[in-house]
Amino acid sequence: MPSTPTVIFRQAIDALLDKDMPRFIALFAPDAVLEFPFAPPGQPRRVAGQAALHDYLIGYPDLLDVHEIHDVTIHETTDPEVIVVEFTSTGAAVATGQPFELRYIAVLTIRDGQMVHYRDYWNPMDAQELLGGGLVPS
């Protein structure tokens, strides 16, 4: 199967649901950039490079137990390397068991079967409230 942006996005979702962060991180190019335009003060707005992405994302399953990713809508663009994705993530905060439902819009650029740019538009205030103000990677 070709590594289209949609295929790579679905592989990323499968890795998240499997709590396989090394597999998720491996989908990023070595020089990939992850951006959070709505990051609150004290949170990174940009994480660049696969090593930094690893450090930022590897502990995600220790914070949030994602049970399901649903309401997925993938919008293709005029650029064959870019998709815009809307989705909802539901699960529970690991420390408290408090359930969550978080909505996302992401703009992904995928080249040669790897994510090279992931711009994540989500409400970090919801996640911070869920985790008591702790750092929350998306």
Contact 100, 130 (CB under 8 A): yes
Residue 83 lies in a domain: yes
Sheet with 46-48, strands from edge to edge, namely 46-48, 28-35, 114-122, 99-111, 82-93, 64-76
Q: State pLDDT tens for residues 38-77.
A: 888 888 999 999 999 999 999 999 999 999 999 999 999 9
Quickly count helices (H) and strands (E) in the chain. Answer: 5, 6
- Domain with 17 in it: what CATH number? 3.10.450.50
Pair of tokens at residue 118: 């992931």
pLDDT digits (tens, 9 = 90+) for 75-118: 999 999 999 999 999 999 998 899 999 999 999 999 999 999 99
Rounded to whole angstroms, how far apart are CA atoms 100 and 109?
27
Is residue 30 in a domain? yes
Domain carrying residue 80: 5-130
136 within domain boundaries: no
